[in-house]
Chain A
Amino acid sequence: MKLIFCSLFFLLFSLTIFAQKSEYTAVNISDSLKENADAVVRLNQVDIVIASQRSMTTKSKRVITVFNEKGLNAIDAVEYYDKSTTVKSIEAVVYDLQGKEIKKIKRKDFRDQSVVGGGTFFSESRYLYLDYTPIDYPFTIVYESEVSTSTTAFIRKWMPLDNYNTSIEKSILNVAYPNNLGFKKKELHFSGFNIKKVTDSATLLSYVATNILAQKPEDYSPAFKDIFPSVMMGLESFHLEGVDGTATTWEAFGKWYANTILLGTTDLSDETKTKIKTLVGAEKDPVKKAKIVYDYVQKKSRYVNIAIGIGGWKPMLANDVDRLGYGDCKALTNYTKALLEIVGVPSYNAILYGNSYKMDIDSEFVSMQGNHMILSIPNKDKYIWLECTSQDDPFGYQGTFTDDRNVLIIKPEGGEIVRTTIYEDKNNTQISKGNYSLSEEGNLSGFITIVSQGSQYNKKTTVEKMQPTDKEAYYKSYWDNINNLKISKAVFLNDKENITFTEDVQINAVNYGSISTNKMMFVVDAFNKYTGNVKRIRNRKNPFQIQRGYIDEDEIEINLPTGFTIEYLPAVVALKGKYGEYKIEIIKKENNKLLYKRSISINKGRYSNTEYDEYRLFMEKVNKSDNAKIILTKN
């Protein structure tokens, strides 16, 4: 499945700020703020004024001292605009170490660019950004902007700390709003940070955060937004490019979405209706009908992201998708829904965050969220989920882009928060069976069958569609522990019905066994060595998490070369811990044969910072055991 973001909830916001006299020299920054910091946010003041349901102005003022090239990101001098959003002012002034002004950057010196790129084919949105070449480090930049918009459906989340290796001296948020629009907020992960709520009234909200130290990125950490402070904000009565909306519950939000945004988008021509009815024929079972329709959509359409119309929120008309054969996630989802409607299978648009890192729609905060759309078909007390942007995904398979997360289902009778398919650790399997032989020169030839299921299926299927040279490169990197590898055959079976991917691969490699004088040494585990590197991290701070667990099982027969005797055979290793289990075993068989058995299971979960080292040591033992060698002596 393609990892593609729709520009559906294209978060175009703006910040604003008050001018404030301050000392811009970099000299008097405290040492604690400099530690691990590429940049220090001296001040970040955001003033949001919501004048009415259809008018919001955001002023930003940001004073940033940048210590090196990596700190340039912290300036973040970018403003997006489109038909409903205007950048009223934007400018920056640069000061040197002593606080002396060295450059003024006016609006016309900002670069103006279309957002097209990456997954987006066309969009009406553009952005202005600062393109400044620093003369010397450190320097301090004062950036100010004012942006106004009629879209009040999104209010940018306040994140005083929004990047690693950046410290915060002071960050201020002021929001003013009329008392009749149902302004609401939600504070997240405040504890442990110096954040003060200054005002919280019917029309005003403000916070001040001070002295937040720079954070270091650490592997296996949860996403930034899941550990660091933020404030979500929203209105119960909002506006989205020409459309007013009011919702206090998901039910109401869903109704509004269905009745305004989605209304009238599913009409299809009689010709298409007849076609799809003929295709489905006499089939009665709704799931089987859905399979036929999904297959039809996969064959007919392709993914092209064109963000036009209501902020990229409104799907293209189903009729247009039918004619053109392409669309973005919303368009293709909606089109599939329209086709299912014709054959009497009810289905609903589902809004979510598409990402291999699992992200939930915050169920406690009714607002526009998400960046992707898929289709849900009720099936008894569960749902079948269809990724309509993929031409290859098996029916109902969610892979790792949309699995196990809270999503919003849009039903005409109202919205509803539902969890998508959870792929249990025990079902994410890779079962390998194979053999290899070593010649007297240490050359290897072998054959292996690898069967992958669950979320491991997703990882593997890409190889099927690769060009021959890429396929070769894929296996050479997959088995990078085998030098001089040659792939003589690779055959695949992609069983979409049972969501099982089988690879039959034949390989050979010279010099696999290393020969020194009269001995040959080789690593037993040729086919499935753990290759990750769980780093040692000094003083880990963040919790760590394993998002998806799995099970691998291997059974490999080894044919030893003739004329050698076994000098050393690795012993049985069995490890067991809360992160998983691991076992290897080598069984001597007749005729110079060995049987190597390996199994590993890793459990998903969220663990504390102190448990990380335990996990690291567990994986290190796995690593060591996977490197176990057999030594043979020449007779």
Chain B
Amino acid sequence: MKFSQLAIVLLFVFSFSKIAAQEFKLGKVSVAELQEKMHPKDTSAVAAVLYEKGDVSFLYVEGQGFISVLEVEARIKIYKKEGYDWANKNVVYYIGSNLSKESVLFSDVVTYNLVGGKVEKTKLKSDGIFDENLNKYRSQKKITMPNVKEGSVIEYKYLVRSPNIGSLKGWYFQTSIPVNYSEYVTKIPEYFVYNSKQKGFIYPKIDVEKNNKSIVLVSKERSNDRDNVSHTTFSHDKLDYLETKTTYIAQDLPAMKDEAYVNNINNYTSSIEQELSMTRYPNEAFKSFSTDWNSVVKTIYDNEDFGLELNRTGYFENDLKALLKGITAQDEIIKTIFDYVKSNVKWNEYYGYNCDKGVKKAYKEKTGNVADINLMLTAMLRYAGLTVNPVLVSTRSNGIAMFPNRTAFNYVIAAVETGTGIILLDASDKFATPNILPFRALNWMGRLIRKDGTSEEVDLMPKKQSFDNITMSYRVNPEGVVTGKARRQCTDYNAMLYRNNVENVKEDTYLEKLENENDKIEINEYNRTNEKELLLPTIETFTFTGSNLCEIIGEKIYINPMLFFANKQNPFKQENREYPIDYGFPSSDKYSITIQIPEGYAVESMPVPSAIAMEDNLGMFKFNAAVNENILQLVITHQINAAIIPADYYSMLQEYYKGMIAKENEKIILKRI
């Protein structure tokens, strides 16, 4: 599975056909809309957006320059009580610094009900509007609609004024309820060029027109005349400019439904985001921000919280010299520096590709955000003479970075170029090792930035299989008690998952859990190896006794050969699937099982060997069993060869698991002789 497949699916086609915006106006709620009992296309919908319009325009404010004004109006139908949440609306806005403070103003907030065949209007008064300060940077305005019942139609309008024209507020055409009509209009003066990125499976129709506009600038001049009487003269300068009006219209958008094993639902929701890519002020040189990956990268690199921080070395030079004394092998250098950063600077759980407190301070205080840590790591490795570059990443929670812009990324890691390929490093996670990144960073492609400002894509998804190898031998006695020992070895991502699982868990508690989750076996002689040796596979061994592991029915003993390791449930319960199945990494589970049967018993029947192969070599299940006197031997493997499997394969995958689970639960029958 290649990244390009998804990219193609998500690529959109601009269609410049002339479209007519539909006439919706606040206040014109029809009786038919109020009478509607359920959504005509989705009878289970709890509510629906009847129409929603967003309009972004630019306003010239004296002394401040251009600001953006977003005007939103919406009409929402509430079908069921479960949809009452749609009668609450909140808008978050930025209050960080005086210069860039935003404001939000709600108006025309009305609930409509049908009472005795007549339309009844209830207006929202000020007691239903709340302003809440979230933190230093953000506030939110909230409204809760009055008099909402099943069948109500609600309307509201709000205005967001923002001096932050670097990126406009995004517009989501689609949401978790059906949207009948969604219109988004941007009216952008010629001085600005925005780069828009669009996502989702449904593409709005787009219409572009150019209009002539003008601003009148008023300037004041005071002068004293000969009689020393002061005069104020006003001069009006008219500035003509061209405005590009773009209208996006999407209709009949189905509700978005989240599914299991989906990376991030927002990757698939129809939406548009706009980021400033260039300014073209009159009498000024063009200033470009992010029209392609190279300029995005340059902008990021030129930012002092990134490039400058990357070039600092003074703060660690002495420590590093001492640390690297006598170490010459590249692998050793990488390991030493990587471990040094991991153990000395702890991640404060903040993302970002820009440093928060700066590498120097982070180094001193021993904590920092992702950029503080990984840019420091990059600088140290460079200092040690390796070819190392930062790689910009978009975390799973941030969605997939598909279009060139600065906000596409929110995370940074380091990449060492070696003769045999690239080694990815993330020192913010304590269990990460070279080429084993924390799950949050495993998200399609990253972008590697070189010193000369060029950049290239780097595939973040693991190619190497992570192993989970289980060796188990046990004997069964005639009373049905099973005693045996097991050894489990995990590599790479499986080892990382294991380490996360056992971290901070007392051994006693861990064993209690292991016993209870595995048919109440009793575990003894438990041993764990390499828990802290991150480069080595984790190994646990234990002996066990279980009285619930087989069944004696009449003269016969029925055993599931895999005992508690058998998969019992198909993880893919849903009938259909829209989005790719994201395993995170390729894997291989292998069980080698030896069973000793009790004296006086013989095998009456046992599962026959079989194999299931997935299409296109995406995975493979093999089941082998053989009997030799009173010893049974089985080898079972289950292999997933890709980190991500496209949704087209869903039913194939379901069948695969169905077959595998049926096989894994077949019994060995022992009879008395």
Contact = CB atoms under 8 A, between A and B. Distances in A.
A534 B88 CA distance: 42
Interface in B592-631: 605-607
Interface in A581-632: 620, 624, 629, 631
A68 B150 CA distance: 50
Given A70-B504, A299-B149, A476 B573 contact: yes
Interface stretch (B49-57, B334-342, B658-666): B658-666
A480 B130 contact: no
Interface in A454-482: 465, 467-469, 472-473, 476, 480
A536 B520 contact: yes
A469 B574 contact: yes
Contacts of A631: 553
A521 B135 contact: no
Identify which of B506, B607, B658 gathers the most chain A CB atoms within 10 Å of its CB: B506
Q: How large is the interface on B (under 10, 10 to 19, 20 to 34, 35 or more residues)?
A: 35 or more
B365 A103 contact: yes
Contacts of B122: 323, 325
A114 B573 contact: no
A344 B80 CA distance: 32
A387 interface: no
Interface residues of A, number: 60
A133 B88 contact: no
A324 interface: yes
Nearest to A471: B44
Contacts of A535: 512, 516
A320 B128 CA distance: 11
Interface in A88-125: 103, 111-114, 116, 121-122
Interface string A556-578: 00000000000110000000000
A340 B530 CA distance: 70
Contacts of A36: 506
A122 B346 contact: no
Nearest to B509: A216
Contact of B346 (A134, A326, A536, A537): A134
Contact of B516 (A68, A113, A536): A536
Of the listed residues B81, B136, B515, the one surrounded by the most CB atoms of chain A closer than 10 A to its CB is B81
A382 to B, nearest CB: 30
Interface stretch (A12-20, A23-31, A404-412, A511-519): A511-519
A391 to B, nearest CB: 5
A489 interface: no
Given A133-B348, A516-B667, A568-B553, A536 B512 contact: yes
Interface string B145-167: 01111100000000000000000
B669 A516 contact: yes
A514 B662 contact: yes
Contacts of B44: 467-468
A568 B554 contact: yes
A38 B82 CA distance: 41
A186 B147 CA distance: 45
A536 B365 contact: no
A326 B146 contact: yes
B658 A122 contact: no
A116 B134 CA distance: 9
B144 A304 contact: yes
A284 interface: no
B116 to A, nearest CB: 12
Contact of B148 (A216, A302, A519): A302
A511 B658 contact: yes
A356 interface: no
A473 B569 CA distance: 13
A134 B658 CA distance: 46
B127 A483 contact: no
A217 to B, nearest CB: 10
Interface string B555-582: 0001000000000111001110000000
A485 B347 CA distance: 44
The secondary-structure label for the interface of chain A is mixed
B367 A325 contact: no
Nearest to A486: B575
Interface in A232-281: none
A473 B575 CA distance: 10
A69 interface: yes
A326 B520 CA distance: 50
B658 A510 contact: yes
Contacts of A486: 575
B332 interface: no
Contacts of B515: 536
B285 to A, nearest CB: 42
A403 to B, nearest CB: 23
A194 interface: no
B366 interface: yes
Contacts of B142: 121-122
A469 B257 contact: yes
A103 B364 CA distance: 11
A533 interface: yes
A300 B146 contact: no
A485 B504 CA distance: 38
Contact of A302 (B84, B509, B554): B84
A504 interface: no
A465 B82 contact: yes
A538 interface: yes
A135 B347 CA distance: 9
A36 B80 CA distance: 49
Contacts of B135: 111-113
B144 A121 contact: yes
A221 B136 CA distance: 42
A629 B142 CA distance: 58
A485 B570 CA distance: 10
A324 B147 contact: yes
B87 A302 contact: yes
B349 interface: yes
A331 B661 CA distance: 54
B132 interface: yes
Contact of A480 (B82, B87, B569, B658): B569
A555 interface: no
Interface string A68-92: 1110000000000000000000000
A531 interface: no
Contacts of A467: 44, 46, 257
A113 B667 CA distance: 58
Contacts of B367: 133, 135
A514 B666 contact: yes
B132 A135 contact: no
A199 interface: no
B133 A629 contact: no
A165 to B, nearest CB: 9
Contacts of A517: 605
A116 B520 contact: no
Nearest to A468: B44
A465 B551 CA distance: 41
19 contacts: A38-B504, A135-B346, A299-B149, A302-B87, A324-B128, A324-B146, A326-B148, A465-B80, A465-B82, A467-B44, A467-B257, A469-B257, A472-B574, A516-B606, A521-B667, A533-B516, A535-B512, A567-B554, A620-B548
Given A299-B149, A469-B574, A483-B661, 8 more contacts: A113-B134, A304-B144, A325-B146, A325-B147, A325-B148, A472-B574, A511-B658, A521-B558
Closest 6 CB pairs of A and B: A133-B348, A325-B147, A324-B146, A135-B366, A122-B130, A133-B367
Interface of A: 36, 38, 68-70, 103, 111-114, 116, 121-122, 133-136, 216, 299-300, 302, 304, 306, 320, 323-326, 391-392, 465, 467-469, 472-473, 476, 480, 483-486, 510-511, 514, 516-517, 519, 521, 533, 535-538, 567-568, 620, 624, 629, 631
Interface of B: 44, 46, 80-82, 84, 87-88, 111, 122, 127-128, 130, 132-136, 142, 144, 146-150, 257, 346-349, 365-367, 503-504, 506, 508-509, 512, 515-517, 520, 548, 551, 553-554, 558, 568-570, 573-575, 605-607, 658, 661-662, 665-667, 669
